[in-house]
């Protein structure tokens, strides 16, 4: 019985796929053929798999950017902005670090400055929350728009390739591009770093004092404070770690994939990170699976369109359904002695932080 509740994300995905099948029928296609093309294009094809991995990297990192602060009971909705600022910091480092330095030294500096950029941007809502009690959901979300347009402005006035028809920066030097680990694809080393980050954060949150303190603050800040935990410092730490992850996502998009900083380069990875976080029940390790799956949906969408003629926007609808069912799933909690499918009357569907944090522990 417990297991049924453990894998709520799986049920949400299955429910979304079933409802999505009806949408495919409405679009005049065979759902089994559509899903067959979608998943074979995403997972059972060399280039498709590489493309899935390429998309997984920013999704996973953006998911981690949500998971760490949410374990401390705080919503980081501003992953998108942290991705942009991280990408900007990484690009500036890549373009302006003196070429006299060896690439082996510049590359880590670029990655670090990207992470630092994201972390600093995330610290703004964290400081406002810790010292003024201002709602971090609103500040982090709104700061995303500031970040996106700030990056656009910087590209326009400072970094823009001369004569370009669209605002994008000059190309970063070839010697600091991330190496590719699957031949003839764009699967770059940033994917491996993202996986490493997920594993390390999984261990940190479970096994270290820092991780335990974050969890305690998430459950009950007042009790944590009483127990001698510096709650303010933990708010800042968790947001900085999250922001650094998002900053890495942005930097890898530039030096791993696009080789330039484009205006509006992210198709909403920051917000999709929230889906990853909830699909993974706030576990960094499960986030790998969740990000891989969502990335596969996006990578396979093109193959589905070519095979059965269903528009790629169908996949966006599927993602929306997954969000919906994950949210519905939050209302159902494992309570020994109660029958499944009968939530307690007036189950607090809105009380997300506590519910989610608890379900993460199984």
Partner 1 sequence: MKNKLAIGLAAIGVAAVMQGTALAEALKVAVVLPGVVTDKSFNENVYQGLTRARDELGVEIAYTEKVPQPSQVEVMSDYARRGYDVVVGAGAEYTDAAKRVARQFPDIDVIVLNGAPTDGVATINYDNQQFGYVLGLAAGHGSETGKIAALSAQQVPAFEQVVEGYRAGFNAVRPDGEVLVAYTNDWADIAKAKEASLNVISQGADVLLPYLDAGFLGVVQAAEERDVHVVGVVRDLSGEYPEVNLLSTVLDFGGALYQAVELAQNEAIEPRDYRFGIGTDAGYLGGFNAEASQEMRDAVAAAVEKMQAGELDPSAE
Which of 257, 279, 286, 291: binder of partner 1 (CB under 8 A)? Answer: 257
The number of residues that bind partner 1 (CB under 8 A) is: 31
- Alpha-carbon distance of 255 to 177, in angstroms, equals 5
- Interaction pattern, residues 121-160, with partner 1; x per rule: CB under 8 A: ----------------------------------------
Instruction: Determine the Cα angle at 202 with ends 351 and 220, to 5°.
Output: 35
- Interaction pattern, residues 39-78, with partner 1; x per rule: CB under 8 A: xxx--xx-x---x--x------------------------
Instruction: Determine the Cα angle at 250 with ends 248 and 251, to 5°.
Output: 65
Contact positions with partner 1 (CB under 8 A) in 169-208: 184-186
Pick between residue 69 and residue 90 the one whose CB is nearest to partner 1.
90
Pick between residue 265 and residue 332 the one whose CB is nearest to partner 1.
265
- Interaction pattern, residues 2-41, with partner 1; x per rule: CB under 8 A: ------------------------------xx-xxx-xxx
Which of 75, 121, 168, 239: binder of partner 1 (CB under 8 A)? Answer: 168
Which of 165, 228, 341, 346: binder of partner 1 (CB under 8 A)? Answer: 165
Q: Is 306 in the site for partner 1 (CB under 8 A)?
A: yes
- Alpha-carbon distance of 91 to 267, in angstroms, equals 18
Residue 230: CB atoms within 10 Å: 13
Pick between residue 169 and residue 355 the one whose CB is nearest to partner 1.
169
Pick between residue 54 and residue 279 the one whose CB is nearest to partner 1.
54
Contact positions with partner 1 (CB under 8 A) in 258-277: 258-259, 262, 264-265, 267
Least gap, CB of 259 to partner 1 (angstroms): 7
Count of alpha carbons within 13 Å of 132, Cβ hemisphere only? 9
The first and second tokens of residue 6, run together, are: 């453990």
Least gap, CB of 161 to partner 1 (angstroms): 8
The first and second tokens of residue 150, run together, are: 């700030």
C-alpha of 228 from chain center: 32
Burial class (CB in 10 A: 0-12, 13-18, 19+), 108: exposed
Residue 123: CB atoms within 10 Å: 18
Least gap, CB of 7 to partner 1 (angstroms): 16
Tell me the H-state helices in the chain: 2-6, 8-26, 31-43, 46-71, 79-96, 103-132, 136-154, 189-207, 209-219, 221-226, 231-252, 269-279, 284-308, 313-329, 352-360
Q: Which residues bind partner 1 (CB under 8 A)?
A: 32-33, 35-37, 39-41, 44-45, 47, 51, 54, 161, 164-166, 168, 184-186, 257-259, 262, 264-265, 267, 302, 306-307
């Amino acid at each position: 019985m417990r297991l049924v509740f453990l894998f709520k994300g799986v049920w949400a995905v299955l429910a979304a796929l079933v409802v999505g099948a009806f949408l495919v029928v409405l679009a005049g296609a065979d759902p089994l053929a559509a899903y067959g093309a979608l998943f074979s294009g995403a997972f059972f094809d060399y280039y498709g798999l590489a493309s899935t991995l390429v998309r997984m990297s920013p999704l996973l990192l953006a998911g981690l950017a949500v998971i760490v602060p949410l374990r401390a009971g705080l919503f980081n909705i501003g992953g998108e902005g942290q991705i942009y600022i991280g990408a900007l910091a990484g690009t500036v480092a890549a373009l302006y670090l003196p070429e006299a330095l060896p690439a082996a030294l510049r590359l880590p500096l670029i990655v670090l400055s990207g992470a630092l950029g994201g972390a600093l941007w995330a610290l703004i809502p964290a400081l406002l929350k810790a010292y003024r009690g201002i709602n971090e959901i609103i500040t982090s979300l709104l700061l995303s728009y500031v970040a996106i347009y700030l990056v656009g402005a910087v590209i326009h006035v400072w970094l823009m390739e001369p004569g370009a028809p669209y605002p994008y920066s000059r190309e970063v030097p070839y010697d600091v591009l991330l190496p590719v680990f699957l031949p003839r694809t764009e699967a770059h080393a940033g994917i491996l770093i993202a996986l490493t980050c997920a594993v390390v954060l999984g261990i940190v949150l479970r096994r270290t004092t820092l991780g335990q303190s974050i969890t305690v603050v998430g459950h009950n800040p007042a009790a944590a404070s009483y127990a001698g935990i510096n709650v303010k410092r933990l708010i800042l730490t968790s947001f900085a770690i999250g922001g650094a992850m998002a900053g890495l996502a942005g930097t890898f998009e530039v030096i791993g994939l696009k080789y330039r900083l484009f205006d509006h380069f992210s198709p909403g990875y920051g917000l999709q990170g929230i889906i990853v976080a909830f699909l993974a029940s706030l576990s960094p390790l499960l986030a790998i699976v969740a990000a891989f799956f969502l990335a596969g949906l996006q990578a396979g969408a093109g193959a589905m369109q070519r095979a059965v003629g269903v528009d790629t926007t169908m996949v966006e609808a599927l993602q929306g359904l997954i969000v919906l069912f994950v949210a519905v799933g939050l209302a159902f909690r494992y309570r020994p002695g109660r029958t499944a499918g009968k939530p307690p009357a007036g189950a607090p569907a809105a009380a997300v932080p506590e519910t989610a944090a608890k379900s993460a522990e199984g």
